[in-house]
């Protein structure tokens, strides 16, 4: 349940002219087609670039908007490969491109006469949209490679799930920022934007639905190889499918939806570890396959399926059940978690710390979790150890908060003064307190954990150095890169009319996913077909092979670099 009910005035295609006192953004032309059904023309048509159609502004460019155009291209190059949060990402690129168009139009008005109103509008808008796009670039390059849970330990799994949740919220907030920031909405004064909120919600529901469906498919696949699936697991997967129906219908509140997807992704990660990770030690495998673990997972999913509201009490109940599941994964009983509240708060900050302190922050959180794991054992559950653990968690939490507030946006960082930075010193203080706690617990040799921290700092420095060189190592795209090396021809077939209603040819990069192709083609269709196409259109490689939305063009085309598909609606 996603995509556009009807294209609002600020949508990329088509765009009705606003009042004459405001800038008129011309409607974006859909990509050039190679003909329509029944055409007798044999004239060769140069295929339009899908990437250019998605990212290129329609208005005349100016030096003042070159950075915006470049950042849109960087983000656009990444999002066409996304396998999650795809439609929200496409909408974000659409919106950024429309804002660039509006800024260019206001600049043009200042060239045509003395128009201080347009001057104020475009100068006020440039910084916010650049800031938003710089932040987005910070994770789109990594996000395009991510899909379901990876890793070789429970801790890897938990970190992956938390990072997914952070990225999901981040990309949503970026879209909301572009849609609601006053300096940006002023560009479209006089244009009705009331329908855009509903449009964003539909895209979010679509992304959540398609991702959650893939999560459930992976869980089912992992259990399909068992000779006998426990009843607990059958009940759990049944509840997951009921939750999928509710997510698809937008029938549960946002807070419960977020926890539902997070829980489902965690379950998928655990099934992968338990049944598809040969390198895992036998003891851990036996534990992850045990009845208590899956009983805790089933209880969590059952609670989510029965929860109707996301009020404070309901969310607290879900959080408690989620923590119990985490406890079982780490050999806890889940009944006597006697650790301070700040322990739970640590995970919330894991995805908030930017380079050059991210890896160090994650390492410190992991060490805190190691100490908590030891504390949960009867041999270490003493009043003195609890006091020591409280101090560790408080100092670490303060260090993480300092790191969060120290770097609030993507920007250059002087690595020569890395060790002099206040955030580094705050994290070093936390490291020292963790080391002292480790010693007071009597846990033996600290050297391996010292190397763990050193390696995290090294990784932070290396990643920050690469980030500092981003514009040097990743310059603006060439004309050939914008066009792409693969050629795709798509005919849109309306099964109700038994006819081809649209045909087009695009050039594109081989990493482009069919979900990006469907989104772009739907934008060129009649309004009556657009939403249905984005929601339900199916790609077929004739004569009888149905394609998946996350299939890439290179996978389907192979060495020929040319491909023809039918999009059935």
pLDDT at 116: 86
DSSP per position, 292-328: HHHHHHHHHHHHHHH----SHHHHHHHHHHHHHHHHH
Residue 134 in domain: yes
- Residue 35, phi-psi category: left (phi > 0), alpha (psi -120 to 50), beta (remainder): left
| Of 529, 524, 488, nearest in space to 508 by CA | 488
Same domain, 364 and 454: yes
Q: Is the bond preceding 14 in cis, omega lying within 30 degrees of 0?
A: yes
Same domain, 160 and 199: no
The answer to whether residues 341 and 316 touch, using CB atoms and an 8 Å cutoff, is no
pLDDT at 252: 86
Same domain, 67 and 125: yes
- Residue 78's Cβ-count burial label (10 Å; 0-12, 13-18, 19+) is buried
| Of 181, 192, 153, nearest in space to 6 by CA | 192
Cα atoms in the Cβ-side hemisphere of radius 13 Å centred on 58: 19
Residue 289 clears pLDDT 60, i.e. is over it: yes
If one counts the domains in the chain, the total is 4
Separation between Cα atoms, residue 196 and residue 453, nearest integer Å: 46
Domain-ending residue, one of 476, 504, 522: 476
pLDDT at 338: 52
Same domain, 216 and 288: yes
Average pLDDT over residues 336-363: 79
Average pLDDT over residues 20-35: 37
Separation between Cα atoms, residue 92 and residue 95, nearest integer Å: 5
Residue 194 pLDDT level (bands cut at 50, 70, 90): low
For residue 541, the domain's CATH number is 3.10.20.90
Same domain, 219 and 285: yes
pLDDT at 13: 36
Q: What percent of the chain has pLDDT over 70?
A: 86
Same domain, 107 and 66: yes
Residue 71 clears pLDDT 50, i.e. is over it: yes
Residue 16 in domain: no
Same domain, 461 and 373: yes
Separation between Cα atoms, residue 464 and residue 467, nearest integer Å: 5
Q: What percent of the chain has pLDDT over 90?
A: 27
pLDDT tens readout for residues 505-552: 999 888 999 999 999 999 999 888 999 999 999 999 988 899 999 999
pLDDT tens readout for residues 94-149: 899 999 999 888 888 888 878 888 888 888 888 888 988 888 887 787 777 778 87
Sheet containing strand 562-568, strands side by side: 48-49, 499-508, 486-494, 562-568, 538-541, 545-546
The answer to whether residues 561 and 505 touch, using CB atoms and an 8 Å cutoff, is no
Residue 411 in domain: yes
Angle at the Cα of 339 from the Cα atoms of 333 and 344, rounded to 5 degrees: 95
Taking each continuous run of H as one helix and of E as one strand, the counts in the chain are 22, 6
| Of 79, 91, 84, nearest in space to 146 by CA | 84
Same domain, 468 and 368: yes
Residue 386 pLDDT level (bands cut at 50, 70, 90): confident
pLDDT tens readout for residues 225-279: 776 777 888 889 999 999 999 988 888 888 889 899 999 999 999 999 888 888 8
Same domain, 282 and 223: yes
Residue 345 clears pLDDT 90, i.e. is over it: no
Residue 116 in domain: yes
What is the total residue count of the chain? Answer: 569
Same domain, 92 and 158: yes
Give me the domain span that covers residue 505. Answer: 484-568
Residue 105 in domain: yes
Residue 381 in domain: yes
pLDDT at 500: 93
Average pLDDT over residues 428-447: 91
Residue 360 clears pLDDT 80, i.e. is over it: yes
Average pLDDT over residues 4-19: 36
Torsions phi, psi for 562 (to 5 deg): -130, 140
Average pLDDT over residues 323-335: 70
Residue 40 in domain: no
| Of 303, 350, 307, nearest in space to 324 by CA | 303
| Of 204, 202, 233, nearest in space to 216 by CA | 233
Same domain, 307 and 395: no
Which CA distances in Å does 490 have to 267, 287, 506? Answer: 38, 50, 8
Domain-ending residue, one of 132, 159, 188: 188
Same domain, 280 and 375: no
Separation between Cα atoms, residue 255 and residue 266, nearest integer Å: 17
Residue 37 pLDDT level (bands cut at 50, 70, 90): very low
Which CA distances in Å does 282 have to 229, 293, 377, 551? Answer: 20, 16, 21, 35
Quote the mean pLDDT of the chain: 82
Domain-ending residue, one of 167, 188, 209: 188
């Amino acid at each position: 349940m996603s995509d556009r009910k009807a294209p609002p005035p600020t949508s990329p295609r088509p765009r009705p002219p606003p009042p004459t006192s405001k800038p008129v953004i011309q409607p974006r032309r859909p990509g050039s087609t190679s003909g329509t059904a029944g055409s007798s023309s044999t004239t060769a048509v140069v295929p339009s670039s899908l990437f250019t159609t998605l990212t290129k502004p329609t208005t005349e460019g100016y030096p003042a908007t070159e950075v915006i155009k470049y950042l849109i291209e960087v983000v656009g190059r990444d999002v066409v490969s996304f396998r999650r949060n795809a439609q929200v990402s496409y909408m974000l690129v659409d919106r950024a491109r429309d804002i660039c168009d509006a800024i260019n139009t206001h600049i043009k008005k200042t060239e045509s006469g003395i128009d201080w109103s347009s001057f104020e509008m475009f100068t006020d808008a440039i910084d916010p949209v650049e800031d938003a796009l710089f932040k987005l670039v910070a994770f789109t390059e990594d996000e395009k490679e991510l899909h379901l849970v990876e890793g070789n330990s429970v801790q890897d799994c938990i970190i992956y799930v938390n990072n997914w949740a952070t990225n999901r919220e981040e990309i949503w907030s970026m879209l909301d920022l572009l849609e609601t920031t006053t300096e940006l909405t002023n560009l479209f004064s006089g244009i009705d934007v009331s329908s855009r909120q509903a449009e964003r919600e539909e895209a979010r529901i679509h992304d959540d639905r398609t991702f959650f469906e893939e999560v459930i498919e992976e869980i089912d696949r992992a259990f399909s190889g068992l000779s006998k699936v426990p009843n607990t697991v059958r009940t759990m997967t049944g509840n997951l499918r009921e939750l999928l129906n509710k997510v698809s219908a937008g029938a549960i509140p946002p807070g419960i939806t977020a926890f539902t997807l997070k829980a489902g992704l965690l379950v998928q990660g655990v099934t992968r570890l338990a049944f598809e990770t040969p390198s895992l030690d036998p003891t851990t495998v036996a534990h992850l396959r045990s009845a208590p673990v899956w009983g805790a997972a089933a209880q969590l999913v059952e609670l989510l399926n029965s929860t109707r509201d996301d009020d404070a009490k309901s969310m607290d109940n879900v959080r408690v059940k989620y923590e119990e599941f985490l406890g079982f994964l780490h050999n806890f009983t889940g009944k006597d978690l006697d650790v301070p509240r700040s322990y739970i708060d640590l995970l919330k900050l894991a995805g908030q710390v930017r380079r050059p302190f991210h890896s160090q922050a994650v390492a410190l959180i992991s060490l805190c979790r190691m100490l908590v794991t030891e504390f949960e054992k009867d041999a270490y559950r003493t009043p003195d150890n609890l006091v020591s653990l409280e101090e560790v968690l408080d100092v670490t939490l303060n260090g993480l908060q300092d790191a969060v507030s120290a770097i609030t946006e993507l920007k250059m960082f002087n690595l020569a003064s890395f060790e002099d930075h206040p955030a580094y010193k705050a994290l070093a203080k936390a490291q020292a307190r963790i080391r002292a706690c480790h010693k007071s617990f009597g846990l033996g040799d600290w050297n391996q954990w010292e190397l763990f921290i050193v390696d995290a700092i090294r990784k932070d420095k290396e990643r920050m150095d690469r980030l500092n060189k981003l514009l040097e190592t990743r310059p603006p795209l060439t004309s050939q890169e914008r066009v792409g090396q693969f050629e795709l021809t798509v005919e849109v077939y309306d099964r109700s009319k038994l006819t081809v209603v649209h045909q087009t040819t695009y050039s594109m990069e081989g990493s482009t996913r069919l979900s990006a192709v469907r989104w772009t083609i739907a934008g060129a269709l009649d309004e009556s077909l657009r939403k249905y196409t984005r929601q339900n259109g199916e790609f077929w490689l004739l004569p009888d092979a149905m394609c998946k939305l996350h299939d890439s063009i290179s996978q389907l085309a192979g060495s020929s670099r040319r491909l023809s598909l039918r999009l059935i609606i």
